[in-house]
Structure 1
Amino acid sequence: MKVVTEKQKGNLQLKVSKYEKKEVFWAYLLIAPTFLGLMAFYMLPALSSFYLSFTDWNGLTAPVFNGVANFVELFSNAEYKRTVINTIVFTFVSVPLMIILATLIATLLNQKVRGMAIYRTLFFLPVVTMPIAVGMVWRWLYNSQYGLINYVLSIVGIEGPAWLLDSKFALFSIILASIWMGMGQSIIILLAGLQGIPESLYEAADLDGANAFRKFMNVSLPLLTPSLFFVLVISLIGSLQVFDLVFIMIGENSVILNATRTVVYGIYEQGFVLSNMGYASAQALLLFIIILLITIVQFILQKKWVHYE
């Protein structure tokens, strides 16, 4: 029987210690580019924005500290209140519709049908399409004179409205385009959740005589709640930050802008059009707080409806 001396133990520990230090060194070296990128493009701008929200700054001269004056102006500004209402309407209409449609489509795409991979790809394509391209295509579809939507409606004898030039339809037109553009991501996430459900549960439901609707309600939906929760969180965060489609489909000087201006569009307008960086930073900080609070509430409430087993 080989006896390990204290000296050999010490040498072994020294080798392990050197190996661990080497591993730690390479680990930090490999994550350094990502860490530095996050610091340079996320953390430092966020901290700068937090400071600037308490200043009056036009982007050229030195910032002048003005306390909470920007926030007082925010809460008394009727235009800002309108942007908040538009954002809330956009969020509470687009998110439920998108999740319902994504769940139904993911369930259909989970069937074992020939050529299903092609359908899955087609539904995901809008996600990887540039928002500017999506916005331009939907602007053409919504055109009141030669757009495809109004042309189809005219075939059945319906006179289509001026979708993007009428305050009654403009915001909902953007909502439909947003759902079409972002639904593919939710479909893929929900589809992955459906495919993770054990087949034995469906077989047991068949033995109990459950039809397709019962299997969906009693098997698929409860076990899909973790995926639904994730989709809900990212969808709410994304919808509260909507900007690109409003900017592309409505434009800066449109008379309909007041009916479609969102919080992030207001931040862009104040900061980069009117050069009111301090006021824009205050809006950004308030939006961050709202998103943070909503996310915290979601994580608290998920204990009541999300099933992880």
Structure 2
Amino acid sequence: MSGFAGLSETSSKVSRRRLRAWLGSSTEQAINGYLFLLPALTGLLVFLIGPVFYALYISFFHYSLLNPANAHFVGFRNYLQLFRDPLFLRALLNTSVYAVGVVPIQTALALFLALIVDKVRGKTLFRVAYYLPTVSSTVAVSVMFLFIFEPQGLLNRFLSVFGIHGPNYFNSTTFALPALMVMAVWSTAGQFMIIYLAGLQDIPGDVLEAAELDGAGSWTKLWSITVPLLRRTTFLVVVVSMIGSFQVFDQMYVVSGGNGGPVNSTLSVVLDLYNQAFLNQRMGYASAMGFVLFVIILILTLVQNYAIGREK
């Protein structure tokens, strides 16, 4: 009996040693893993998470970058003032109209281009051609469209061939925002075309073959099979496009010279936020504006997610 007891005790000691060795190696691996992640986590904390919480903090203050010592607590006054500010309301209206105009056209055009590129020869050439505007600088694209839409620009010269006298688009309260929409669709449709191409390649070929055997035509296959199976891809495209539309800044800044003109017709929420923060030195008010914009985008994203979930 004593021999069995000694053997059991020895086995227990060996097991404990193995457990300590395993825990030691696991702890060492964990420490090494966190050390490798430390630079990225530090950058995320310093340049993203920290500024977000600090912006939320100062959104409850009257705060100026040039005179931070005189900051004083105002509570929710910045948030309440937003909805009484005609400039912010105009910017929110412009941004909403811009998003409503850009997102559907952008999505439909991206799907159309993806369907074409997926079937033609020389796919790589067309992918590159359609995707090039996406990687171009937004400032360079804006300058190019300034040249196209100026009074003696390419578009008006083309219209003059048919006897049509085109306006000065970016100096017109009627045409400035639509011209910016055209610019946005042209410059970003290629990005979403690539996403749709990836979605098209995930559609099982046997499903389309079965539909053909049942006598389905190209149009029927598109609306009854392809489009429904691309529902999640479309959700991604619409959400990303909507977020980009509500955050539009570069194009409107370049085209209007930073003032959102003419007569605030190209003033976006982010451009108004920039002007309030850095020109008017109302950093607390601008931070409140940023968080209101965040809530609006979040609500729209959740509504779309709910709608897609119900369809599924």
TM-score normalised to structure 1 length: 0.92
2:101 to 85, 93, 97: 93
2:30 to 24, 28, 31: 24
Question: Is residue 138–residue 250 contact of structure 2 (8 Å, CA) maintained in 1?
Answer: yes
Aligned-residue offset at 1:234: 1.2
Aligned twin of 1:75: 83
Counterpart amino acid of residue 178 in structure 2: F
Mapped pair 1:144 → 2:144: no
Aligned-residue offset at 1:255: 4.2
1:232 to 232, 238, 247: 238
- Unpaired runs of 5+ residues, structure 2, are 1-9
How do 1:41-52 and structure 2 match up within 5 A?
41-52=47-58
Mapped pair 1:214 → 2:220: yes
Aligned twin of 2:72: 64
Mapped pair 1:166 → 2:178: no
Question: Is residue 251–residue 257 contact of structure 1 (8 Å, CA) maintained in 2?
Answer: no
Aligned-pair Cα RMSD in Å? 1.8
Aligned twin of 1:126: 133
Secondary structure at 1:37's aligned position in 2? helix
Aligned twin of 2:187: 181
Counterpart amino acid of residue 248 in structure 1: V
Counterpart amino acid of residue 127 in structure 2: R
Aligned-residue offset at 1:163: 1.0
- 1:128-164 per-residue CA deviation (whole Å, 9 max, x = no partner) reads 111111111111111112x111111122322222111
Cα distance in 2, alignment partners of residues 31 and 153 from structure 1 = 58
Counterpart amino acid of residue 218 in structure 1: S
2:201 to 195, 199, 202: 195
Larger radius of gyration: 2
Range that drifts further, 153-162 or 116-125: 153-162
Cα distance in 1, alignment partners of residues 282 and 189 from structure 2 = 35
Cα distance in 2, alignment partners of residues 65 and 132 from structure 1 = 38
Aligned twin of 1:276: 282
Cα distance in 2, alignment partners of residues 122 and 257 from structure 1 = 36
Counterpart amino acid of residue 135 in structure 1: S
How do 1:245-256 and structure 2 match up within 5 A?
245-253=251-259, 255-256=261-262
Question: Is residue 53–residue 278 contact of structure 1 (8 Å, CA) maintained in 2?
Answer: yes
Counterpart amino acid of residue 226 in structure 2: S
Aligned-residue offset at 1:57: 1.4
Cα distance in 1, alignment partners of residues 180 and 141 from structure 2 = 11
Question: Is residue 250–residue 257 contact of structure 1 (8 Å, CA) maintained in 2?
Answer: no
Counterpart amino acid of residue 177 in structure 1: M
Cα distance in 2, alignment partners of residues 248 and 255 from structure 1 = 11
Mapped pair 1:34 → 2:35: no
Counterpart amino acid of residue 141 in structure 2: V
Aligned twin of 1:294: 300
- 1:258-305 per-residue CA deviation (whole Å, 9 max, x = no partner) reads 011010000001001111111111111111111122222222222123
Secondary structure at 1:233's aligned position in 2? helix
Aligned-residue offset at 1:7: 4.4
Aligned-residue offset at 1:29: 2.0
Identity score, percent? 35
Describe the shift of the 1:47–1:257 C-alpha distance in structure 2 as closer, same or farther (beyond 3 A).
Answer: farther
Describe the shift of the 1:27–1:36 C-alpha distance in structure 2 as closer, same or farther (beyond 3 A).
Answer: same
Counterpart amino acid of residue 46 in structure 1: V
Question: Is residue 95–residue 246 contact of structure 2 (8 Å, CA) maintained in 1?
Answer: yes
Describe the shift of the 1:257–1:131 C-alpha distance in structure 2 as closer, same or farther (beyond 3 A).
Answer: farther
Cα distance in 2, alignment partners of residues 261 and 217 from structure 1 = 38
Cα distance in 1, alignment partners of residues 174 and 26 from structure 2 = 64
- 1:222-271 per-residue CA deviation (whole Å, 9 max, x = no partner) reads 11111111111111111111111000122135741501101000000100
Question: Is residue 95–residue 268 contact of structure 2 (8 Å, CA) maintained in 1?
Answer: yes
Question: Is residue 243–residue 262 contact of structure 1 (8 Å, CA) maintained in 2?
Answer: yes
- Unpaired runs of 5+ residues, structure 1, are none
Cα distance in 2, alignment partners of residues 37 and 176 from structure 1 = 37
Counterpart amino acid of residue 136 in structure 1: V
Cα distance in 1, alignment partners of residues 175 and 110 from structure 2 = 23
TM-score normalised to structure 2 length: 0.92
Aligned twin of 1:107: 115
Secondary structure at 2:171's aligned position in 1? coil
Cα distance in 1, alignment partners of residues 260 and 300 from structure 2 = 32
State the number of aligned residues: 302
Question: Is residue 102–residue 190 contact of structure 1 (8 Å, CA) maintained in 2?
Answer: yes
Counterpart amino acid of residue 34 in structure 1: A
